[in-house]
Amino acid sequence: MALRDIQKAAVQCLMTVEQGINLREALLCGKHLDTSEHAAFVDISYGVQRFSGSLKALLSLLLNKPLSDKTIDALLRVALYQLAYTQTPFYAVVNECVALSGKIHHGKFKNLANALLRRFLREKDALFAKVKNNPNLPDWWVKRLNQDYPDDAQTMIQAALQHPPLTLRLNKRKTNQQNYGEILQKNNIAHTFLSDIAVLLQNPVKVSQIPHFADGYVSVQDLGAMRAVEILQPKHGEKILDACAAPGGKTGHILETADCDLTAVDIDANRLQKVQDNLQRLNFQAACKVANAADLDKWYDGEPFDAILADVPCTASGTIRRNPDIKWLRRPKDAQKTAQQQVVLLDKLWGCLKQNGRMLFATCSIFREENQNQVQQFLQRHQDARCVLEEQLLPNEMRDGFYYALLQKN
């Protein structure tokens, strides 16, 4: 494994994120690495984002003044992450980091990098004691959590530092808890059933190694995301719309639950292809349309729906364990901006719903502007709407954060 190549790619990824690019796109910086190298690169790239607050605080304690060069700053944070949070041999991390620093500004920072990392190894426990209370979240985010969820804020902050759990949703048309549990046992995959359709894998497993995944027995889906279809309760024969459908987890879940006439709409053709690929794997069909769901002229035939899943755009603030870059890319007013975008979409979709039909408003956010406040304002605008169920699922060790409001058209 070429550790130097891994560090170099991780530095490029980190700097790309700090230019405002989301982490999943920035991971293309490591596309040239082989399989084993790429796995280590991904771990570092996610880890540096997850513990960014602590790493910056550690670096600040080790420096007399801030570094003037962004590349060496990023390189040292990558190395500190490896030394603090991985099992990579210390000598290898230090040697490769020092070698890379020697290529920056003609070796200007080489001695600094060597001295700083060796000091960190000597004083590791004392340094960590000084940063142990760092929440690894922006100050404004912590303030909002304490304001909106005073009893749960610390639990949410701790959950954000954990690796996300790997949960599978059983396709009850092809398997059940007993059957799939036996399959997992035969493959020596430790697991726990969380419900009749949700199974938690105790250790990470590549998708290619999940038994009968390609055959459509299971889908990878967060436990909180499974709640959407449980609330919507699709029924056989209904005409249902899945708006903003990509990547298709909930689309598949709807069709696993009921034989219905399903339309899936998404604005991004590449992401909609993922919906189609997912449906093909599960052996289902739906009318997939590339369009802005709010632009009815582009896709709507005028025939109203019995039910609508409005999985609307949001800040994704409930998924920061799975997408740790989000907490650093978001700004305090972003939730207000996305809430304004949601208004147009929700009002347009409401007009596509039958009388006595139901629309499930769904986000993967924990910010009230995009959730509770949005629904209150919607009910004020639409006198024919009634909220029959509302749930705010907060992130914990088992799931990400989601908000659901089931709206009925009177």
Instruction: Quick: pLDDT tens for 206-229.
Output: 999 999 999 999 999 999 999 999
207 vs 69, 194, 255, CA distance in Å?
A: 39, 20, 21
The answer, as to whether pTM is greater than 0.75, is yes
Tell me the pLDDT band of 1, cut-offs 50, 70 and 90: low
Residue 38 has pLDDT above 70, yes or no: yes
Work out the average pLDDT over 184-210.
95
Q: Which one is catalytic: 13, 260, 364, 387?
A: 364
The CATH number for 166-219, chosen from 1.10.260.40, 3.40.50.2000, 3.40.430.10, 3.30.70.1170, is 3.30.70.1170
The residue-averaged pLDDT of 179-193 equals 97
> Measured between alpha carbons, how far is residue 406 from residues 129, 189, 308 in Å?
46, 37, 10
Give the mean model confidence (pLDDT) for residues 45-69.
95
CATH class assigned to 3-131: mainly alpha
* CATH superfamily, region 227-409: Vaccinia Virus protein VP39 (3.40.50.150)
Indicate if 260 belongs to the active site.
no
108-136: per-residue pLDDT in tens? 999 999 999 999 999 999 999 999 999 99
CA distances (Å), origin 329, targets 11, 12, 139: 17, 17, 13
pLDDT in tens, 7-17: 999 999 999 99
For 324-353, what is each residue's pLDDT tens digit? 999 999 999 999 999 999 999 999 999 999
When pLDDT is averaged across residues 370-396 and rounded to a whole number, the result is 97
> Residue 247's closest CA among 322, 161, 165, 346?
322
In the chain, what are the domain boundaries? Answer: 3-131, 166-219, 227-409
How far apart are alpha carbons 159 and 400 in whole angstroms? 9
Nearest to residue 362, comparing CAs of 351, 350, 371?
371
Q: Answer yes or no: are the C-beta atoms of 142 and 133 closer than 8 Å.
A: no
pLDDT at residue 105, rounded to an integer: 87
pLDDT at 3: 92
Structure tokens at 201: 């894998």
pLDDT of residue 33: 94
